Amino acid sequence: MKGLRSMFPFLLAGSLVAQAGDQSVTLPDLMRGAQQWAEETLDTNALDALPKMDDPAVQKFLREVQQRFQGQYVVDLAGLQETARYALSWLGSREETQPYAAWLGAQMDYFDVADEIRITIPAPKVDANQLAPPRGNPPPEAVRKLWISKISGRPWSTAAREYVPQLKPLFAAQKIPPELVWVAEVESSFDPRAESPAGAAGQFQLMPDTAKRFGLSLWPRDQRFQTEPCATASAQYLKYLYDRFQDWRLALAAYNAGEGEVQKLLDRYKTHRYEDIATHLPAETQLYVPRVEAVILRREGAKLDQLPAHGSRS
């Protein structure tokens, strides 16, 4: 393995030369493909040679956000607004980190809503000299109301006006409600460049394994960054999740947290209802599902739980 690691720069150089004649393949495409190859072929120490962010505060913040997103309590995301704004500015100021800025920009509302939840949920009362227990999570209906209030006055973005007419026929072609294209507003603000620190990419933030599962190529050009392939794969995945869970809230929870996590909770609490597991989902997912609901309600006047199983309501 050590010898293979030492060959990595030469293999990458050879790949660049081999692809130089393909004008549709960009240098970021090649670098992402090389990183994917390294991750699949080499041990993690080989990735030390790849470009990394050089601001320790931003690195620390991104790691912390990922940890808190996967944590148990929504209020743990509160109080991160100032650090998030600094990180967003730093990431957006450098060409090589702008995909992360596109991702973080779409996440900023989570910190504000978590802070509102922190204010509205009173801290538990404890006796003197005792540690306070963690605050519980709010019921999903309360979170839905916060999101509806949060986005009620927002008009369509320029990106939404450009992409929604393109995306709806792609979703309809996969026989799922076209209103679900608004998942892209929540995931990426419709920015095709968006890339998360966890490895999700594109307007619909598909993870590499999910992308490959639904027929996308990651090398030499990552199709997650292309609107039509990414949207089609996302629609196929959402359709699969609905067919499995028979509920759009559960399908969206699985899209965000993973189908295994959702199934584990359904089994644990012996239920088939989203409401019964909502407060036990990862913190990000507890905010994600009602956020998608609120966006669809605001943009389309449609209620998520009234969308048909497949295709249009008409």
**Contact 265/237 with Cβ under 8 angstroms?**
no
pLDDT for position 189:
98
- Give the Cα-Cα-Cα angle 273, 107, 26 (nearest 5 degrees): 115
Tell me: cis bond preceding 177? Omega within 30 of 0 counts.
no
Mean pLDDT, rounded, for 11-25 = 45
Task: Measure the CA–CA gap between 43 and 58, rounded to whole angstroms.
Answer: 25
Three-class secondary structure of residue 202 per DSSP: coil
Pick the CATH number of 136-306 from 1.20.1740.10, 1.10.3720.10, 2.40.50.140, 1.10.530.10: 1.10.530.10
Mean pLDDT of the chain: 85
pLDDT digits (tens, 9 = 90+) for 177-192: 999 999 999 999 999 9
Strand partners, 195: 201
Give the tens place of pLDDT for each residue, 264-295. 999 999 999 999 999 999 999 999 999 999 99
| pLDDT tens by residue, 42-85 | 333 323 333 466 789 999 999 999 999 999 999 999 999 999 99
What are the domain boundaries of the chain? 136-306
Q: What is the structure's pLDDT at 1?
A: 37
Q: Which of 254, 298, 303 is nearest to 274 (CA)?
A: 254
Query: For residues 290 and 147, what is the distance between their CA atoms, to the nearest angstrom?
Result: 7
17 or 155, which is more confident: 155
Question: Which residue from 47, 17, 260, 7 is spatially nearest to 268, judged by alpha carbons?
Answer: 260
pLDDT band at residue 136 under the 50/70/90 scheme? confident
* CA quadruple 250, 252, 256, 260: dihedral sign: positive
Banded pLDDT at 9 (limits 50, 70, 90): very low
In the numeric block, which tokens belong to residue 46? 């080989």
- Is the distance from CB of 207 to CB of 255 less than 8 angstroms? no
At residue 214, the 3 state secondary structure works out as coil
DSSP H stretches of helix in the chain: 2-19, 27-41, 56-69, 81-92, 98-120, 140-151, 158-173, 183-188, 208-213, 227-245, 248-257, 259-268, 274-277, 283-300
Between the alpha carbon of residue 31 and those of residues 14, 36, 213, 219, 285, the distances in Å are 12, 9, 22, 10, 31
For residue 117, the model assigns a pLDDT of: 95
